[in-house]
Amino acid sequence: MQITSAYLYALLFALPALAASAEHGRATDRPLELILLRDNEGICNVLTLRDTQKVRGLQAGSVHTNRLQTHAQPQSGEERVSLVSYDERALWAAAQAECSNTVIPEHAGQVLQQDALTAPHATYSDSFGGSAPPLQIEPLIQSGDSSNRVDLVFFADGYTADEHAKFIADALRLAEDVSYNQTFNTVKPLLNFWAAFTPSKESGIGVGGKPKDTAFGLYRDGTELRGVYYSKPKVARAACLSLGDACDYPILLGNDPLYGGLGGEFTVITPSPANGPLVLRHELGHSVINVGEEYDGGFAYFGVDAAQNLSTPVPWAHWLTPSVTDNADQVVRSERAVMPLQNYAWTMLNASTPWATTFNASGRYARHLVRFSLSGLPAAADLSVRLDGEDLGWAPRKDIGVDRWHYDVHRDDGLKDGLHEVSFTLKNKEREGIAQMCSVEILEFGDESQFNATPGHYSMYPTFSLKNETTYRPTNEDCLMRQVTTPNFCSVCVEGLWLSLLRRVDLIDELNTACTPRRGSPKVNLTANLALVPLAQFRAGAGDSDVAPQESYAIRWTKDGVPLHHFTNQTRLAINGEDTGAVYAVDVTFATEEVHVDKEGLLTAHRDIVLSKIC
């Protein structure tokens, strides 16, 4: 079996990790990560095999899998698959199960190769063959060593050498915005933020599907303020991989003042003052929490905030109003709503002809909402929005300028049975060529007894997909995964955020022990100093009003399984005159009101101190 040069090149980056491998296991306590690119027909290309930081709960021989869509081109259908295991053979076996072509190398063993003999011959691409660009790394917000943190890195695109200071300012503003408000504030001690600067030859990002000469080739597919794509995925992958543990979630920051972004393998955003932080939070929600959409008209509804039907257990039963325990019968209802219209028109408006569309209503709902998004319209005098000829009184968000924004018009009366029309009339001819009606939808709701719109109420709220299929979300409008203009996650997503981050972060940063012999005695003196991730009482500024009020650490020390009550909740253990056969241990439990259910014990940590090994 031949392995092409690109594959061998990828393996060069894994040699330090592979050097410690044994036939059936690995000597190091760090696992291996195998990264694949998989197309929509199952054809895979190996990107790299490398040493990586721990994944908590990963058992010997098991494989942890994570998937992220790639968006190098619109609708590419390609995904990045990350496989993590302590066992290299298990990694290759899992990779082969993912792929329709052969990916198992010769050194993975004859048995595994036999399983793949009927697959097409391996085709290894040069996707990892790109060189990392020169990177000037600067810390933005630091909480700990990257080996035990989740690291988010802003990579510069469309910033020239003269715009280095602007890039740092943009990246810092975005990092502070998402980590100092409620979105990522409580989990900030689990995160590091970095800025990685590469000068671009041209300033800004491309439009009309044509990238500029920039570090990662960001561009808009058309002129609409929507997705921003990247044309140099090889360079972006090499840049992130070159940083090792310090790049878990790469963020490509395009130098453009207006709305735009993308989720998946790379989070792509712009520093738009109005929209940049909002888009960043939303796209990181997809990547970090691993959830789909909550808004109507999407195509991917999955994760902790999505229920596929009403007949299976509710994923957020413990957050329902009132909450439902595992032992109780779940009596849940669908909040009564329907969506008679959704249109992502992305149409340029002109002053000669209004843009209008019609829809049918049943006349059986008590309230309705007109939801739309616009760009290129900075003044109320520029546009008239009407429903059945009635002016809805639209006014732009203050200081939005020509950027895109989302608007809601709530109406406390029902729509009559029959045909209705919504129209957008451009009144300012000078706005032609820039004024755009991006999207419009109509939602109808039952009365207060049928649809609870109260903020903080958790139930089963219907969400309508692009194919008009129904799934369910936890809240009405409480989550930024539903409405990008909402500043916070709902409680279900916040809980998912904690659990996702704590899968990569151990609550114990360090346990330093010292063993000193006692003069004239076979016994020893033991000291142990525990350093925890700075949460709860160990947060910087603990007691400040912006810290989550209900969280705590519980620390329990034991000797040979017997509790040492004197040292409860202490970070230092000091024992004099101990026998070297003793085994001490420390158990740490973190509690927060933002996590109600922790089935995998991710809010706990344990260490043993075996005196015979350290003394």
Q: What pLDDT band is residue 53 in, cutting at 50, 70 and 90?
A: very high
Q: What is the DSSP string of 558-602?
A: EETTEE-GGGTT-SEEEEEEE-TT-EEEEEEEEEETT-S--TT-T
CATH 3.40.390.10 in the chain is located at 136-289
Residue 217 or 324, more confident: 217
Mean pLDDT along residues 145-173: 98
DSSP string, 140-154: EE--S-GGGSEEEEE
- CATH 2.60.120.1200 correct for 336-451: yes
Two tokens at 381?
């005098």
Cα–Cα distance, 535 to 592 (Å, whole number) = 10
Give residues with Cβ within 8 angstroms of 308, minimum separation 6.
Answer: 301, 471, 472
27 pLDDT more than 90: no
CA–CA separation, 529 and 508 (whole Å): 11
Hey, is 156 helix, strand or coil?
strand
Calpha distance 286→268 (Å, rounded): 12
> What percent helix, strand, coil does the chain show, rounded to 5?
20, 30, 50
Q: Is the peptide bond before 189 cis (omega within 30 degrees of 0)?
A: no
Q: With cut-offs at 50, 70 and 90, classify the pLDDT of residue 299.
A: confident
Let me know the angle formed at the C-alpha of 597 by 592 and 601, rounded to the nearest 5 degrees. Answer: 85
Please identify which residue in the block is written with the tokens 């049975």: 417
In the chain, list all ranges with CATH 2.60.40.
Answer: 508-614
Q: Which helix (H) or strand (E) holds 386?
A: strand 383-387
Strands 191-197 and 136-141 turn out to be: antiparallel
The predicted-structure confidence for 521-559, as pLDDT tens digits, reads as follows 889 999 999 999 999 999 987 554 454 558 999 999 999
Residue 579 or residue 108, greater confidence: 579
508-614 folds as Immunoglobulin-like (2.60.40)
Under 8 Å between Cβ of 479 and 489: yes
Task: Convert the pLDDT of each residue in 553-603 to its tens digit.
Answer: 999 999 999 999 999 999 999 999 888 899 999 999 999 999 999 999 999
Would you say residue 379 has pLDDT above 80?
Answer: yes
pLDDT at 440 over 70: yes
Portions of the chain given CATH number 2.60.120.1200 = 336-451
Q: How confident is the model at residue 204 (pLDDT cuts 50, 70, 90)?
A: very high
In this predicted structure, the answer to whether residue 180 has a pLDDT above a threshold of 90 is no
Q: In degrees, to the nearest 5, what angle opens at C-alpha 167 toward C-alphas 162 and 168?
A: 110
Residue 8 confidence (pLDDT) above 60: no
The predicted-structure confidence for 456-496, as pLDDT tens digits, reads as follows: 999 999 999 988 899 999 999 999 999 999 989 999 999 99
pLDDT at 22: 37
- Look at residue 29 in the predicted model and tell me its pLDDT: 85
Sheet architecture: strand order including 64-69: 44-51, 32-38, 79-85, 64-69
> What value does the mean pLDDT of the chain take?
89
Helix runs in 99-163, H state only? 110-115
Q: Which residue, 119, 99, 126, 91, is CA-closest to 44? A: 99
> How sure is the predictor about 9, in pLDDT bands with cuts at 50, 70 and 90?
very low
Q: What are the pLDDT digits (tens) for 274-286?
A: 999 999 999 999 9
Each residue's pLDDT tens digit, 304-335: 999 999 999 999 999 998 866 555 555 689 99
334: buried, middle or exposed (CB in 10 Å: 19+, 13-18, 0-12)? Answer: middle
Range 263-286 burial, b when 16+ CB lie within 10 A, else e = bbbbbbbbbbebbbbbbbbbbbbb
CA distance 316 to 313: 9
C-alpha–C-alpha distance, residues 239 and 221, integer Å: 24
Q: Give the full edge-to-edge strand order of the sheet including 261-262.
A: 136-141, 191-197, 150-157, 249-254, 267-269, 261-262
pTM for this model (two decimals): 0.90
- 234-290 confidence digits (pLDDT tens): 999 999 999 999 999 999 999 999 999 998 899 999 999 999 999 999 999 999 999
Find the range with the poorest average confidence among 47-56, 156-165, 587-596.
47-56
Calculate mean pLDDT across residues 70-75.
Answer: 62
CB 70, CB 37: distance < 8 Å: yes
CATH superfamily assigned to domain 136-289: Collagenase (Catalytic Domain) (3.40.390.10)
